[in-house]
């Protein structure tokens, strides 16, 4: 499984020889094992699907792109509602090739999880060439980390973005051509998620900290970035008359009330999310890496941590949401694991002659491993529950719409993913993804009611507790009855007939 020698580039361009080089295939097998476990739990719970309704948004865009060559959620209505056009394009390849969409999506998830694990291994090995075992274990920790395994089976773009984020800290740098590719990788990360823009200052810092051809490399990096980024902005503007995807503004508007909490509270809540699991025990390693890098002026050590910290701060400032296992912050976990594992290796004294350091080090290492496995299984249970809720609420409702409403029906809904994929009806999107005109009053139910009246909505699809006023202007015609959502503290999704004449 392992080769004996591999030439690896140091951050400053000096090659070194690793005698414990782990090929990507090793981590690919571990990733496949993670995915298999999560899908097995899901199947045992009665369903194979996705744990988020947003995954069905990507599938809908991908199906339309792959089969009818339209970047649209609703056919013949092109829109900039996809947060990740790059992910939608990758999914569309499966539809174009006529490969069953579950199989193609899960396959992409397994490949990306394996790639994240291998890149985390490479990052740790690049920062600490002498800590080869720690680098290997960093990759292992990523392949089995529960958030990342959940993301691999989620049908979402999360691992595509995190892989590109790791890549820009690992890719060799020393020539203008390499700097060009580095900038292009940052541009691609924005196509995976707009959050990729947070990488740009840290990558420019990495280029500037590399002594060779500093100015030429900086210009090449900016050029590579611009070649991807400028067409991306134009793409969004042509589709939606905005420079960013509709979701960029819609999510911030929808959860604006959360920004009223004290900043320190938001920072604490957001900072905790990526640490739920075994990586919490890597905190001392992260502190050591930060301290050592600053003391030795090894600034390249600090760049991945600085990016992860800025990423968390950005979400605390603009979108401080912690739902769905803190899914927006999952992309920083591979970098934290890689740096934390390398820093932890500098603290461990597994063979120390003194009893206390040796016992404490072994207990720390063993507990970290056991916690990693424990949360791996805990995450599989969480994935099972999440899929059960989506399948029995959103998917069941969407199929009811498809079977029990006329093709010309106009449906108002907040969760549009499964509804768009299975319902095949025209949609008024209360969350603003494909109806951006709703964003300015996204939480104002009076204005929403007038908007639905003016748009001549036929049905309203929502969870009854999501809106306090809108259901009063409608009459219930269908409601799901599965136990999974209520047992998780929610309600069953309902379909209402919209009655415009009611106050």
Low pLDDT (below 50) residues in the chain: 1-20, 503
pLDDT of residue 501: 61
Rounded to whole angstroms, how far apart are CA atoms 130 and 115?
A: 22
155 and 50 in contact (C-beta within 8 Å)? yes
pLDDT of residue 353: 85
Of 370, 376, 361, give the one whose Cα is nearest residue 284.
361
Tokens of 288: 């050591």
Distances (CA, A) of 241 to 77, 329, 436: 14, 28, 10
389 and 488 in contact (C-beta within 8 Å)? yes
Rounded to whole angstroms, how far apart are CA atoms 193 and 85?
A: 8
What residues have CB less than 8 Å from 114, skipping those under 6 apart? 24, 27, 28, 29, 30, 31, 32, 143
Listed in order, strand segments (DSSP E) in 66-127 are 72-74, 77-78
Exposed, middle or buried by CB within 10 Å (0-12, 13-18, 19+), for 353?
exposed
Long-range contact pairs involving 216-223 (C-beta distance under 8 Å, separation at least 24): 216/176, 216/179, 217/173, 217/174, 217/175, 217/176, 217/178, 217/179, 218/179, 219/176, 220/176, 220/177, 220/179, 220/180, 220/183, 221/179, 221/180, 221/182, 221/183, 222/183, 223/180, 223/183
- The residue length of the chain stands at 503
496 and 474 in contact (C-beta within 8 Å)? yes
Of the CA atoms within 13 Å of residue 135, those in its CB half-sphere come to 20
Helices (H), 296-349: 299-318, 323-326, 333-345
Of 168, 359, 323, 191, give the one whose Cα is nearest residue 251.
323
Distances (CA, A) of 396 to 389, 401, 405, 470, 482: 10, 9, 14, 22, 10
pLDDT of residue 9: 43
Distances (CA, A) of 287 to 179, 269, 294: 30, 19, 11
pLDDT digits (tens, 9 = 90+) for 222-267: 999 999 999 999 998 888 788 888 776 777 777 878 888 999 999 9
Secondary structure (3-state) at 72: strand
pLDDT of residue 21: 61
CA angle 227, 60, 401 (to 5 degrees): 155
Tokens of 383: 């994935």
């Amino acid at each position: 499984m392992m080769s004996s020698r591999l030439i690896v580039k140091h951050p400053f361009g000096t090659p070194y020889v690793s005698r414990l080089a782990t090929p990507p295939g090793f981590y690919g097998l571990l990733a496949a094992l993670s995915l298999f476990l999560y899908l097995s739990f899901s199947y045992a719970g009665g369903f194979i699907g996705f744990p988020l309704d947003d995954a069905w948004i990507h599938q809908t865009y991908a199906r339309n792109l792959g089969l009818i060559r339209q970047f649209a959620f609703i056919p013949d209505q092109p829109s900039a509602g996809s947060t990740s056009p790059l992910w939608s394009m990758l999914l569309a390849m499966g539809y174009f090739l006529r490969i069953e969409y579950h199989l193609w999506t899960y396959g992409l998830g397994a490949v990306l999880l394996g790639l994240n694990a291998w890149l985390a291994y490479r990052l740790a090995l690049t920062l600490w060439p002498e800590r080869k075992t720690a680098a290997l274990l960093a990759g292992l920790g990523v392949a089995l980390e529960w958030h990342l395994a959940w993301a691999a089976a989620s049908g979402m773009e999360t691992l595509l973005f995190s892989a590109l984020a790791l890549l820009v800290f690992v890719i060799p740098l020393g020539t203008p051509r390499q700097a060009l590719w580095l900038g292009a990788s940052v541009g691609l990360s924005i196509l995976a998620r707009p959050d990729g823009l947070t990488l740009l200052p840290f990558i420019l810092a990495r280029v500037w900290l590399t002594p060779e051809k500093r100015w030429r490399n900086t210009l090449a990096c900016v050029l590579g970035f611009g070649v991807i980024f400028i067409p991306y902005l134009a793409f969004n503007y042509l589709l939606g008359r905005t420079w960013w995807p509709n979701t960029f503004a819609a999510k911030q508007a929808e959860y604006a009330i959360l920004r009223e909490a004290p900043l320190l509270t938001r920072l604490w809540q957001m900072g905790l999310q990526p640490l739920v699991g075994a990586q919490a025990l890597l905190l001392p390693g992260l502190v050591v890496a930060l301290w050592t890098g600053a003391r030795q002026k090894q600034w390249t050590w600090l760049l991945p941590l600085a990016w992860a910290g800025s990423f968390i701060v950005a979400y605390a400032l603009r979108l401080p949401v912690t739902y769905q296992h803190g899914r927006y912050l999952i992309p920083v976990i591979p970098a934290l694991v890689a740096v934390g594992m390398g820093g932890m290796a500098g603290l461990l004294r597994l063979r120390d002659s003194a009893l206390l350091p040796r016992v404490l080090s072994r207990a720390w290492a063993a507990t970290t491993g056991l916690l990693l496995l424990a949360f791996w299984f805990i995450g599989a249970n969480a994935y099972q529950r999440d899929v059960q809720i989506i399948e029995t609420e959103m998917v069941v409702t969407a199929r009811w719409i498809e079977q029990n409403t006329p093709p010309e029906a106009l449906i108002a809904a907040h969760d549009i993913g499964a509804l768009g994929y299975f319902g095949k009806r025209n949609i008024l999107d209360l969350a603003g993804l494909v109806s951006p005109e709703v964003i300015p009053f996204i939480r104002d139910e009076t204005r929403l009611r007038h908007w639905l009246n003016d748009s001549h909505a036929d049905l309203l699809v929502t969870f009854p507790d999501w809106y306090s006023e809108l259901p009063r202007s409608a009459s219930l015609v269908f409601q799901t009855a599965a136990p999974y959502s209520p047992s998780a503290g929610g309600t069953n999704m309902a379909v209402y007939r919209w009655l415009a004449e009611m106050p």
